Structure 1
Amino acid sequence: MFKRLFLVMLTAILILIVSVSGAAAEIMELEQLVVTANRYQEDSFDLPINIEIIDEEQIANSQANNLGDLLKNSAGIQIKDNGGPGGQKTIHVRGSSASQVLILLDGQKINSSQNGEFDLAQILLGNVKKVEIIKGPASAVYGANALGGVVNIITKTAADLQKSELVLGMGSANTYQTSFNYGTRLNKGDIVFSFGSLNSAGFRDDTDHDELDRYFLSTKINRSLTPNTKLLFALNYHDSQKDIPGTISTPTPEAEQETKRNTYQLKLLNQLAHKDTELVIYYKDQNQIYDEDTTISGESDHKTKELSYNLNQIQYFARNTLSYGVEYNKDKIDSSDNGKHDFVTKSVYLNDKIKLAERITVNAGLRYDDHEKFGSATSPRIGLVYKLNRHNNLFFSYGEAYRTPTFNDLYWPKTKYSEGNSDLEAEESKSYEIGYKSNYNSFGLNLSFFRRESDNLIDWAAQDDKIWRPSNVDEAQADGIELNLSKSLTDKFKLEYQHTYLDSRDKNTDRLLEDQNYNNLILIYQPANYSINFKISHVSGRVDDLDNYTICNLNIIKQIQLFNNNYKFKISIDNLFDRDYQINNGYPMPGRNFMFNLSTTF
């Protein structure tokens, strides 16, 4: 099946290359700069990987109020959603698990070291400038846990804020949203301050135990020490309290969870004509309390801390860009369930992007990690870009990646039902990708074929003594196709389409691990002072005997001017036709719901 699809789509590529290059040569290409792929700024079009950028305009015009809902529009990405604003939302990239995808906030890891995952619903979008998504292995740059991909959330700076920004929103189920951003220049620097909140009574019809209160505060202070040297300090604070209603069949009517997280970043950057040097010190402190309010389970308290140092240097030459660095990382946990543990990882990495010829660029990288429990790991990658012409590229990449077991995997306390396994080894993968990119002002196309072979996958299963334990037993293979298409039909009407075909299977049992077909069709109409977005999403070939579903969302934005101020009024209607469906088995998604937002700058 995969070979047949490959041949069909390859034929389509060749036809498209000929037709587009001949008919649209006069149209200028669009440059999209990214920083996530190699830790320095470069054009995503010239990279041998599939990297997606969601910019500030796309965020503002979306229905989403959190990162999980925003990423549902992306090919190759599956958001596992427990439903509603408070429901956990985790990301799977090309069939990976959530713990195999690295989540970064301004380049720094925010995944939980306890379970390896991150709840994307915790990221409200008020201060987000853009999101960069690497689809595929990135351990050669970032080390462990970037087996499936990387999501980098880049927040606004004072330079992005010409004026103060305020957003107020209200919607179904007593949902209220607030966002405020303020930035100003100081002597030899600038400062930006952001605040956001989301409160909701919840959408679940089968329970009243579904409330959410979520807040964040952040600040960035940037100061020029010399004409070539800058110092940046960033602080982010997150606080959420939510009910955990459980599944329909196994409800937890009294369960609650509170999460508090502080992150601190100190960055020293020196930029010369042909060399950049960056030192980053990062600290994360998170406390999560789960209380089921029963005599059986009671309260669980998990404190995790992370400290990292990263020294990185980039050298720019005539035909290549060389980046290299060293990194130190310490993860620590103090848990009522898992006990007290800590790990140290020391790393060195190197990447070189070389222009071999006018049409050929090679990107090669290697990272060596020394983990005090799991030993050493070497993660290579190599990619090649062949420029067909100014607007069309072919690319190929190969990469190896790994994921270390989490504190939960290793040290889950022994009970009558479950127990961790301190003898686990790291998961490993090899990934291949071939693709085509077309980049025009009014037309864009990204098409990728990929395969990931994974070994030593950690699987929790009942053993001979009936106790559930994790072990390195599984092998999996994920084959797939991703298509991203955008076309401006007129100066006011635009069409976007994303398709993912994914065949992700357990190689031992041939069991399907992920839903197979994802389709998004987005129609955008932008007459004067209006923006109207209509989105149709269809998912089929599902796992766990779940039904296929089709969902429609509508978003209308109107710009108005009152008292010499510009205002933007937005109404979002999700699940327009009030369909019943589930993304995660046992967790019903909200029916038709509304959100009204009013935003202004001053």
Structure 2
Amino acid sequence: MFQRVLCRAPIAAAVLISTSLPLHAETIVVTGVREPLSVERLAADVVVIDADTIRASTADSVADLLRREAGMQLSRNGGPGHSSGVFIRGAFSGQTVVLVDGVRIGSATLGQPSFDAVPLSQIERIEVLRGPGSSLYGADAIGGVVQIFTQRGDAGTQVDAAAAVGGYGSRALSGGVRSRQGAWDLAAGLSHERSDGVSTLRPGDQFGNHNPDRDGYQLDAAHARIGFAPAAGHRIGLTLLRSRQDAQYDASEYLPDFSQDNTPDFRDRLDTELAALDWRGTLRPGLVASLRAQRSVDDSRSGGNSIDVFTTTRRQVGGQLAWASGMLGQLVVALEHSDDRAFATPIGRNVERRTGAAVLALSGDAGIWSWQGELRRDDSSDYGGVSTGRLGGGMRLLPQLKLRALAGTTFRAPSFNDLYFPGYGVETLQPERGRSAELGLVWRSADTEAALTVFRNRVRDLIGYEGDRSFCPPDPAYDFGCARNIRRAQLDGSTLSGLQRLGAWQLKAQLDFLTARDETTGARLSRRAAHQETLSADWTGAAWSAGASVLHLGARPDSGKQLAAETTLDLKAAWTLAAGWTLQARLLNATDRDTEPARDYQGLGRQAWLGLRYEGGL
């Protein structure tokens, strides 16, 4: 696989001008080693999507933004506001950790993160670790880690507000304030999104669930981050977030006479809450400590006349020491304890998982060399002990050119549905385990950035459906099969990306190649395209700006059907009316392409948006 990818790279490089890495030498990230560190010192592949990129993007959600800026593939059960999954390097959504201000979110029963619990309007930046992350963040980081940072108070006082209307009865409102006064800092915001949408399913879907009514959504969210600095080098922080999403969808219920009824008003209602209290302080020069207690709730209620409930409550406490040790670099030691509790109506009872973890990480640089390595041990009440590690380094070949390499081990914990769902779950399931390696080449200069990454990931003990009754528990409930560690996956590929600044112009491109197969059958994994390309051009003038972006997604299999390749074009323009005031226009899917984000589901056609934004100080 590596040989095939390296043969493709020079051909693709000829059509590229630069890379999708919006990073510079002084870009500081947290996700790469759990402590603030310059991206230049990392062997890991970390993508930063900053506030300017988020505000200027034509993306309609966090998941849509990620596939445009981080080279991931997107699957969604309908249009904006509906359940979505992001595949990092071919790993499915349940093999990705999603954090909001360091707090993990998502359902432990369904085994899925909540990508769209936070509106784009409340996000300051997003860091995406592509590749092995279990040695830092524990279970499920087989594909990588997505960390969302909400806004935080700045010097002085800043306010922002935005209102927009769009096709399909869509509208969006948001407002926020950020301030730092003396020892206190504060950021708070509110947002509201709503759309009438289209029917989530196409006529003639395979299960006969199509209902021609419109399936819209509404998302309301509020967040606050409060900080107090009792002394120089110390800060106590409180983070609060609450979002409520209500999305309609097409489905069916079955009447007493076993006839199918697709007319009820089916809805997914997802409430997400998180709270975190933390302290961070400099004990002496080069020694920084932090303590943290956090809680998150993911409450999902789905159905028409009959409602299924899936509720996850996560509590975690932890402490960390970071020591600038001198020649060896920065040493990080962390201890964590988490308690995951869940209730699901199909399971019919409360279930719990307690996990303790210890982390040891080292990163440093000297001359042209840089290095990083981690070890982590997780001990769980239901899947036992798992050790993971990661080792990598970089070498600066030229002032602008860096070679990096990284290898690591990962694992995914069985979801509570995998363990306890009646007639399917098996309590003796073991975690899925992966081994990943990558090689990268990065060029950065004042106006040009380019990168090539080649990766290989092997995942074994994948949890899937076992139809052979002899491998299942003796209970008659398992007469039709059960969950079992039966599959192996091959995830190989490459990413070639670039960015070029030419005066008032900025050009970006990214090419992603992926081989994602079931090693047992040789079949391509569902919903993974063999390639995806993005290209954008942006122009900025004194009062005007404009841009265009193209995304091409290759054909991919899904539940026995081959989904056609798709190419979508988005256009945007903005006009600064006065200091702080900007009029914005967007035309999404400008060519009105018929898209199928998952089998039998349909996305939106052409959609125009017009909005007004204010950002300024008080």
Q: TM-score, normalised by structure 1?
A: 0.92
* Structure 2 match to 1:486: 499
Identity %: 22
2:363 counterpart of 1:350: no
CA shift for structure 1 position 289: 1.2
Match of 1:4 in 2: 4
Within the alignment, does 1:454 sit opposite 2:454 as a pair?
A: no
Q: In the alignment, is residue 445 of structure 1 matched against residue 450 of structure 2?
A: yes
Tell me, which stretches of 5 or more residues in structure 2 are unaligned?
A: 203-211, 253-259, 470-477
Contact kept in structure 1, 2:98 and 2:114, CA below 8 Å = no
Give CA-to-partner distance per residue, 1:205-226, whole Å, 9 cap, x none. 8622412111111111100122
Which residue number in structure 2 is paired with residue 434 of structure 1? 439
1:523 CA displacement: 1.0
Q: Match of 2:154, SS?
A: helix
CA contact (8 A) 1:71 1:77 kept: yes
Deviation at 1:165?
0.3
Separation of aligned partners in 2, 1:592 and 1:209: 16
Question: 1:425-457: CA deviations, max 9, x gaps?
Answer: 100000000001111221011210000001000
C-alpha change, 1:10 and 1:374, in structure 2 (3 Å) is farther
> Which stretch of structure 1 is more off in the superposition, 108-117 or 426-435?
108-117
Return 262-271 or 284-293, whichever deviates more: 284-293
In structure 2, C-alpha distance between the alignment counterparts of 1:384 and 1:591, rounded to whole Å: 45
Shift of 1:110: 0.7
In 1, Cα distance between equivalents of 2:32 and 2:176: 28
In the alignment, is residue 156 of structure 1 matched against residue 168 of structure 2? no
CA contact (8 A) 2:191 2:221 kept: yes
1:373 lines up with 2:382 in the alignment: yes
- The answer to whether the aligner puts 1:570 opposite 2:584 as a matched pair is yes
After TM superposition, the structure 1 stretch with the greater mean CA deviation from structure 2, 129-138 or 549-558, is: 549-558
2:331 — aligned with what? 322
Q: Map of 1:75-94 to 2, 5 A cutoff?
A: 75-94=70-89
Give CA-to-partner distance per residue, 1:12-35, whole Å, 9 cap, x none. 99x99xx99xxxxxxx96422111
1:551 to 541, 545, 568: 568
Which residue number corresponds to residue 534 of structure 1? 548
Return the offset for 1:589: 1.2
> Match of 1:407?
416
* Structure 1 residue corresponding to 2:103, chosen from 97, 104, 108: 108
Determine which structure has greater relative contact order: mean sequence separation of CA pairs < 8 Å that are 6+ residues apart, divided by chain length: 2
Shifted more, 500-509 versus 122-131: the winner is: 122-131
Alignment match, 1:169? 164
- Which secondary structure state, in structure 2, belongs to the residue aligned with residue 543 of structure 1? strand
Alpha-carbon separation, structure 1, partners of 2:225 and 2:582: 26
Of 192, 195, 199, which aligns to 1:197?
Answer: 192
- Alpha-carbon distance between aligned partners in 1 of 2:26 and 2:251, rounded to the nearest angstrom: 45
Alpha-carbon distance in structure 1 between the residues aligned to 2:563 and 2:105: 31
Give ranges in structure 1 of 5+ residues lacking alignment: 21-27
- Whether the 8 Å CA contact 2:155–2:180 is kept in 1: the answer is no
Say whether the 8 Å CA contact 1:86–1:210 is kept in structure 2. no
Distance 2:2 2:363 in 1: 31
| Rounded Cα–Cα distance in structure 2 between residues aligned with 1:161 and 1:33 | 23
Q: Is the 8 A contact 2:196 2:215 kept in 1?
A: yes
Instruction: Decide which of 453, 469, 474 is 2:482's aligned counterpart.
Output: 469
Structure 1 vs Structure 2 CA RMSD: 2.3
| Distance in 2 separating the partners of 1:145 and 1:160 | 37
Q: Does the 8 A contact of 2:107 with 2:311 survive in 1?
A: no
Number of the residue aligned with 2:599: 585
Cα deviation digits, residues 40-69 of structure 1 (max 9, x gap): 111113211111011111001101242012
- Which of the residues 232, 237, 249 maps onto 1:227? 232
Partner deviation per Cα, 1:120-169 (whole Å, 9 max, x = no partner):
23321111111000000111111111111000001111117842100111
1:485 corresponds to which letter in structure 2?
G
Report if the CA contact (8 A) 1:167-1:597 is conserved: yes
Tell me how far 1:324 sits from its aligned partner.
0.9
Shift of 1:521: 0.7
Q: Say which is worse superposed, 170-179 or 3-12, in terms of deviation.
A: 3-12
CA distance in 1 between partners of 2:85 and 2:262 (Å): 20
Aligned AA for 1:231?
I
Relative to structure 1, the CA distance from residue 597 to residue 3 in structure 2 (aligned partners, 3 Å threshold; closer, same or farther) is same
Matched, 1:238 2:233: no
Give the 5 Å matches for 1:281-430: 281-293=293-305, 298-319=306-327, 320-338=329-347, 339-355=349-365, 357-414=366-423, 419-430=424-435
Deviation (angstroms), 1:75: 4.6
> In structure 2, what is the equivalent of residue 260 of structure 1?
271
- The equivalent residue for 1:133 is 128
* CA displacement, residues 468-513 of structure 1 (integer Å, 9 cap, x when unaligned): 532110001111010120011x211121001100001000000011
Paired residue type of 1:477: Q
CA displacement at 1:270 relative to structure 2? 0.7
Instruction: Provide the C-alpha distance between the structure 2 equivalents of 1:75 and 1:516, rounded to a whole number of angstroms.
Output: 16
Q: What is the rounded CA distance, in whole Å, between the counterparts of 1:96 and 1:4 in structure 2?
A: 20
Aligned residue identity for 2:304: E
TM-score, length basis structure 2:
0.89
CA shift, 1:583, in A, is: 2.1
Quick one: which amino acid aligns to residue 306 of structure 1?
A: R
- The residue number in structure 1 matching 2:535 is 521
Q: 1:200 to 1:160 in 2, by over 3 A?
A: farther
CA drift of 1:273 comes to 1.8
What whole-Å deviation, never above 9, does each CA across 1:245-265 have from its counterpart, x for those lacking one? 259x99675311212122110
C-alpha deviations, 1:373-432, integer Å up to 9, x for none?
111000011001011122110001000000000011111123xxxx22222110000000
Describe how 1:270-285 pairs up with structure 2 within 5 A. Answer: 270-271=281-282, 272-285=284-297
Helix, strand or coil for the counterpart of 1:122? coil
Residues 1:121 and 2:133 are matched in the alignment: no
The range that moved more, 28-37 or 45-54, is 28-37
Tell me: CA distance 1:389–1:86, structure 2 relative to 1, closer, same or farther (3 Å): same
Name the CA distance, whole Å, in 2 between partners of 1:403 and 1:440. 38
Secondary structure of the residue aligned to 2:244 is strand
Quote the residue 2:472 is aligned against: none
- Between the two proteins, the alignment pairs up a number of residues equal to 578
CA distance 1:250–1:152, change in 2 (3 Å): farther
Contact 1:76–1:135 (CA under 8 A) maintained in structure 2? no
Cα distance in structure 2, aligned partners of 1:172 and 1:445: 37
The secondary structure found in structure 2 opposite 1:502 is: strand
Amino acid at match of 1:38: V
